[in-house]
């Protein structure tokens, strides 16, 4: 806690011989606090407060990449002001939840499908200070995308039963199997993932982290 007494002023008064004023300016001892002064904070409290004040919250998200016969499971969103776009199913991590559990829960909520989560496919970020995406969010985000498979796949994705969303997002319009070869940057969020999705199996361990892609 910064003390309200200015050390420079206290030293200057002593140098000028104003001894009579030093009693009111001298820092109080352990048992002498200034009127209305708050109790001293512990070091842990000080560090926690500084951490909260100096940093904005970062939203952690997990998503699933489910590919069958050249088709990717995607959620189609729509907003009147910008039209429609596709995203991989997924969303925000809950406190006490592992990332693979987040990917499973969010995929089930958005598509009605249960999945098995596999290897980490990529990591990308969204930094609002550096982007002006119309469907972006005000908070900084980091997205972990995992390869995944359906627990009970049908014989063909095109003939599967229609997916039912238990908790769809506000902008969610439909769940679709999208041909990977047809995915374009204009239709996908983030658009930079489009080229990577055309060859999902070509990803190497050295190219998992993609940085700010929006």
Q: What is the pLDDT of residues 130-164, one digit of tens each?
A: 876 655 567 899 999 999 999 987 655 554 444 55
Q: What is the pLDDT of residue 207?
A: 85
pTM above 0.75, yes or no: no
Q: Is 194 helix (H, G, I), strand (E, B) or coil?
A: helix
Q: What are phi and psi of 119, to 5 degrees?
A: -75, 155
What is the per-residue pLDDT across 168-186, written as a single tens digit (0 to 9) for each?
677 888 999 999 999 999 8
How many of the other CB atoms lie within 10 Å of CB of 198? 14
**With pLDDT > 90 as the criterion, what percentage of the chain qualifies?**
47
Q: In whole numbers, what is the pLDDT of the chain averaged over residues? A: 77
pLDDT: is 81 or 27 the higher one?
A: 81
Q: Write out the two tokens for 79.
A: 């907003």
Q: Write out the two tokens for 43.
A: 């070091």
Give the Cα separation of 175 and 169 in Å (integer). Answer: 12
H/E stretch holding 66 reads strand 58-68
Give the Cα separation of 206 and 28 in Å (integer). Answer: 59
What is the per-residue pLDDT across 190-210, written as a single tens digit (0 to 9) for each?
998 999 999 898 877 778 999
Q: Write out the two tokens for 203.
A: 């990803």
pLDDT at 109 over 80: yes
Give the Cα separation of 190 and 5 in Å (integer). Answer: 53
Q: What is the pLDDT of residue 133?
A: 60
């Amino acid at each position: 806690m910064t003390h309200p007494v200015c050390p420079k002023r206290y030293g200057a008064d002593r140098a000028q011989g104003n001894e009579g004023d030093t009693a009111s300016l001298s820092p109080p001892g352990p048992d002498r606090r200034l009127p209305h002064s708050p109790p001293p904070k512990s070091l842990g409290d000080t560090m926690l407060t500084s951490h909260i004040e100096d940093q904005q919250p970062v939203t952690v998200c997990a998503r699933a990449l489910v590919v069958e016969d050249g088709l990717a499971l995607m959620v189609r969103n729509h907003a009147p002001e910008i039209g429609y776009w596709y995203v991989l199913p997924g969303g925000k991590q809950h406190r006490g939840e592992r990332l693979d559990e987040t990917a499973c829960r969010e995929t089930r909520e958005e598509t009605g499908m249960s999945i098995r989560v596999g290897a980490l496919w990529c990591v990308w970020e969204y930094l609002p200070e550096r982007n002006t995406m119309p469907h972006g969010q005000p908070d900084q985000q980091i997205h972990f995308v995992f390869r995944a498979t359906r627990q009970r796949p049908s014989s063909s994705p095109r003939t599967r039963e229609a997916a039912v969303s238990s908790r769809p997002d506000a902008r969610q319009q439909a769940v679709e199997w999208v041909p990977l070869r047809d995915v374009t940057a204009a239709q996908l969020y983030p658009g930079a993932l489009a080229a990577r999705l055309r060859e999902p199996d070509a990803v190497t361990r050295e190219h998992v982290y993609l940085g700010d892609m929006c």
